[in-house]
Each structure stands twice: as structure tokens, then as C-alpha cells.
Amino acid sequence: MIALDAVSKSFDGGTRFAVREVSFGIPAGQFVAIVGSSGSGKTTTLKTINRLIDADAGRITVDGSEVTAVAPFELRRRIGYVFQGIGLFPHLTVAENIGITQQLLRWRAADIRARTLELLDLVDLPRDFAQRLPAALSGGQRQRVGVARALAARPGILLMDEPFGALDPLTRDALGTSYRRLHEQMQLTTLMVTHDVFEAVLLADRILVMRDGGIVADGTPHELLNQHPDAAVRALMDMPRRQSDRVQSLIRNGDRGATHA
């Protein structure tokens, strides 16, 4: 469904590469997470797929077609996009925010209304929220509206850039679980960038680890949690286990010092 072949991107004319010769493919229906430190190339890679950033070299295809074969705005109407800042229009109601893509696609007003109510149900928001302004919603509720808007035109692909990063832990966990259910229910292909390795392990079918603009590991959570040959990848993937061990130690011993033993 998504394929990158030797994709590179530099922002300074080729002296330093944000992304260097990245190649991977994502089959239809798979949920893939990209993890790595800040500046490793995660978001740049994601944005080359819907051409928010144009690659300097390489080939990118979506559902078998090269992304450069269509105008960027046409490509983006086929690919949902959710990001940390949410980006709802503050002067539009929830219904108007969700329906904006369908309006651009000239859907009938009745179809837009029906789809909006369907999406509010899907993202677990009450239907009477349709007439509220974004300022009247919590951060988690606004992010649910962002997911609904991204799904409005029934895309088969969803790109997510730190979608839950600004939320409190409980809301983040609930929203991640809800989205994973939506992913399966709607048979989506999802590519998510996250700094949270624990989130990637719990939500994704497959994890790509990036460093210095390249992919240094690619595997299922089980595979990457079990002794990857790269020491830095092992250290990154051991983080969820270390966190879990510390919590279990606190539960057993009630002694914070024991968590650092």
C-alpha cells in the first residue's frame, strides 16, 4: 500500500541529509510505527509520503501509483493525516471541521451530515458535539475530532505524526486503544511517528527504528524486544521493559531505591 525506494531528502542542498536512502514497504492493513530520537528523520520520512515535503531522490508509491504522478492536493485527499497540533479551525464547529474535505470533494450536504454523525460514533464522541466549537472541547476530544476529520473521505491510509504526544497519559492510552480498534474495524493502513517506544510496542504490528536519517531496525515488537544485534536499538527497545520492571519493583517492595538496583 505504501512503498519507499531509496528515498532521500536534504534541506541544505545535499551537505546534510534529513533522510538518506530510506526503503521500506507497508502491506495493506498493517499498522507500522516509526521510532527514534529527535532529528532521526521520522517526520520528514512521513511527510514525503503525502508530499508535504518533496523527496530529492528515490521513488514513493501509494497503492501502486507514484506520488509525483498526481497533484499534491489530490494525493492528500486520498491519505488521512493526523498530527500533534490537531489543527482544527477554531471558528468552525466540530461538524464543519469534520466535513471540510467532503465539501472540497463536492459531496451532497445530506451525505456530509450522515458521514459526520457516523464518524462521531466511531471516535466515541456524543453526536451533540457536532455543533460545538473546538474551544469547548478537551484536548483529547479535539484529537478525536482530528482523527474523525482525517477519516472523513474514507481514505485507506492514515499517516499520524505524534498524534497523542500532547495528551495526558490516561487520555493518551485511551485514545491509542480507540484508534487501534478503528484501524482494525476500518481495515486501514497506518504509519505512525512516535517518540514513545512503549506506545509503539503496544499499538503497532511492526516497528521501524530510525537513526541519522536511515532505518537501522525493522521488525515486529516481539522481534525487536528480543536482543537486536545493534546495541543502540537494544537500548531503545529495552526501555519499556526497564520501565515495567521499575513499576513492578515499586509494587512489590514499596521502595523507590529498589527500582535503581
Per-residue confidence at 255, pLDDT binned at 50, 70, 90?
low
Residue pair 144/124 in contact by the 8 Å Cβ criterion: yes
Give the CATH class of 1-78+156-239: alpha beta
Percent of all residues in the chain with a pLDDT value above 90, rounded to a whole number: 64
* Average confidence (pLDDT) over 196-208: 94
pTM value surpassing 0.85: yes
How confident is the model at residue 90, as a pLDDT? 92
How confident is the model at residue 257, as a pLDDT? 54
Question: For 66-76, what is each residue's pLDDT tens digit?
Answer: 999 999 988 88
How confident is the model at residue 261, as a pLDDT? 44
Q: Are strands 189-193 and 31-35 parallel, antiparallel or unpaired?
A: parallel
Mean pLDDT of the chain: 90
How confident is the model at residue 28, as a pLDDT? 97
Question: For 77-87, what is each residue's pLDDT tens digit?
Answer: 889 999 876 68
Question: For 131-186, what is each residue's pLDDT tens digit?
Answer: 999 999 998 899 999 999 999 888 999 999 998 877 788 888 888 898 999 999 99
Per-residue confidence at 193, pLDDT binned at 50, 70, 90?
very high
How confident is the model at residue 85, as a pLDDT? 65
For residues 32 and 234, the model is more confident at 32
Alpha helices of the chain — where are they, by DSSP H? 42-49, 72-77, 94-98, 100-104, 109-122, 139-151, 169-185, 197-203, 221-225, 231-237, 239-253
Under DSSP, the state recorded for 129 is G
How confident is the model at residue 64, as a pLDDT? 92
**Backbone torsion region of residue 178, taken as left when φ is above 0, otherwise alpha when ψ lies between -120 and 50, otherwise beta:** alpha
Q: Domain coordinates of the chain in residue numbers?
A: 1-78+156-239, 89-154
Question: For 226-248, what is each residue's pLDDT tens digit?
Answer: 878 888 888 888 877 777 777 77
